[in-house]
Structure 1
């Protein structure tokens, strides 16, 4: 059961609650002062669990929280908030990380809209390079870490101009063969989530799910227009208006890269974040797509005919599974 903590409450004999700064179905984010380090403020994520969980499910979820929190505490990247502590109080678990001052990019978009302006493409690309570096770092961990909820409100710009990818609320470790339970239950934010994220099947997800959300976020930043829900796009692809039709100041190169990242099928997206950043900043999307195809072909040259047939069947079944996921969620 979720506990409420009022201003002045002391957590773990160390963190004095100032106020609630974020709220979700199964948790909150609290701004707290670290009483051991005077003047240091932290964001404390409170995690509670679905009351319908069986005792076994709850035990598994809490064990998974501890495993994931341990991994997150080892991360060290300039564009990620540092996780410094984690603990439990009764049936609630807590994750302590740096508090990041500044506006989130949702607020930045709102200001641009209010002034009837678009954000400068050069500024957005600078932010994208920082976000992309953080994502590449997460995806390169062993096991790989997916963020799963990239969106403007989860990206903050500090007063010094440094971008921070915040809220590890839906982070997932991609441990092979392991059914993972996310730190905060949920499927991400519908406007930015790819099709494969709706079904909750971690076996169908990899870093390309974050790339889709990353591209969708850049679409919103450059057009002041939220991206179309992926389910609506599948039913009618014309629902997604090309970015340059909304904001002609966007360069063709950047538009091509964003639309590539937002492809419906994960196999049609950039293979990794570094490839996507290349498309954003210089190399043509068509040449990178062609190169990716060549790389894939060379990887498969060592396979015999039976293995190739099985590979094609697996690819078809994956796409069919994505379609069933869509139908279940309409």
Structure 2
């Protein structure tokens, strides 16, 4: 989707900022490129309106040459993927209490995004996109895949620019090949649940695709880190449910379940999940497409 550079804003006295360079599709014709750039301008203007402590402020955007640029606050510090690696090098896990403190901030940030009108989806929540600043604050830094959505695909406010597939271990199953209007805030809930799984276990979760095809391969968090409390494990697993309707309905609900231990038990065991999911025609179609792709690769 693009590269992020550390830059200085000469118009603001050399203030340090982060500048994301986004290149439209290389093979797009002029008409498509113009449409993508118009959508980029809509997306950037929407991001510039956001104002929340755990989100970097977007200060400018522009297009020049064959790239679009998004300018935002520079956030110093380590990303949480680096924090995980550092903990593993020391042979320890990040304490559950610390992860829950971060989760509370991230849930509140998602709640802020999802309550915008229309709602804003981040769609790329993962440890590498979360910064821990030198003074201990958590910030969700990469808006590259953020989306402003409405549930009605015919609503003119729906923005479909800057789409992407996110990062596979954190991508909910319904987003594999999904159109924007077919997704909702529960996709971000899945990504946050997968992020917490990684933070608590120091292990990337299996992708939703792998879990769908091989349910028995999925390892429960407490099997990897026995210090995780059963109630937190249950909340994380509910957030990572493959079926959107089985996840918390909102980030605020997920936060309550994490902090109070009142998450309901998952309706399906992981080992028996595939049988239930095959009743869903959308997921069955995905399985068939994956099978056809595998056969095509084998024939080649």
Q: Do both proteins adopt the same fold according to a TM-score greater than 0.5, normalized to the shorter chain? A: yes
Q: Distance in 2 between matches of 1:113 and 1:227?
A: 16
> Residue 174 of structure 2 aligns to a residue in which SS?
helix
Q: Which has the higher contact order (CA 8 A, sep 6+)?
A: 2
Larger radius of gyration: 1
CA–CA distance in 1 between the matches of 2:212 and 2:219?
A: 13
- In 2: Cα distance, 1:36 partner to 1:198 partner: 42
Deviating beyond 6 angstroms after TM superposition, the runs of 4 or more aligned structure 1 residues are: none
Counterpart for residue 295 of structure 2 = none
Runs of at least 5 residues in structure 1 that lack an aligned partner in the other structure: 1-25, 290-315
Measure the CA separation in 2 of the matches of 1:146 and 1:123.
25
What is the deviation of 1:257?
0.3
RMSD across aligned positions (CA): 2.0
Alpha-carbon separation, structure 1, partners of 2:266 and 2:240: 15
1:224 maps to what in 2? 202
TM-score, normalised via structure 2 length: 0.88
* Residue 86 of structure 1: aligned partner: 61
Give the length in aligned residue pairs: 278
1:58 and 1:323 map into 2 onto residues whose CA distance is 34
Q: How far off its partner does 1:54 sit?
A: 2.8
2:161 to 163, 182, 188: 182
Pair 166,327 (structure 1): closer, same or farther in 2 beyond 3 Å: farther
Answer yes or no: is the 8 Å Cα contact 2:239–2:247 preserved in 1.
yes
1:153 equivalenced with 2:132 (yes/no)? no
1:324 partnered with 2:285: yes
Once the two structures are superposed, what CA deviation does each residue of 1:186-214 show, in whole Å capped at 9, x if it has no partner?
20001110111111322221000010010
Structure 1 distance, partners of 2:209, 2:198, is 17
Partner residue of 1:115?
90
SS in 2 for 1:270: coil
Question: Structure 2: which 5+ runs fail to align?
Answer: 268-276, 292-300
Partner Cα distance (2:283, 2:182) in 1: 9
User: What are the equivalent positions in structure 2 for 1:95-174 lying under 5 Å apart?
Assistant: 95-174=70-149
The DSSP-based 3-state class of the residue aligned with 2:196 is: helix
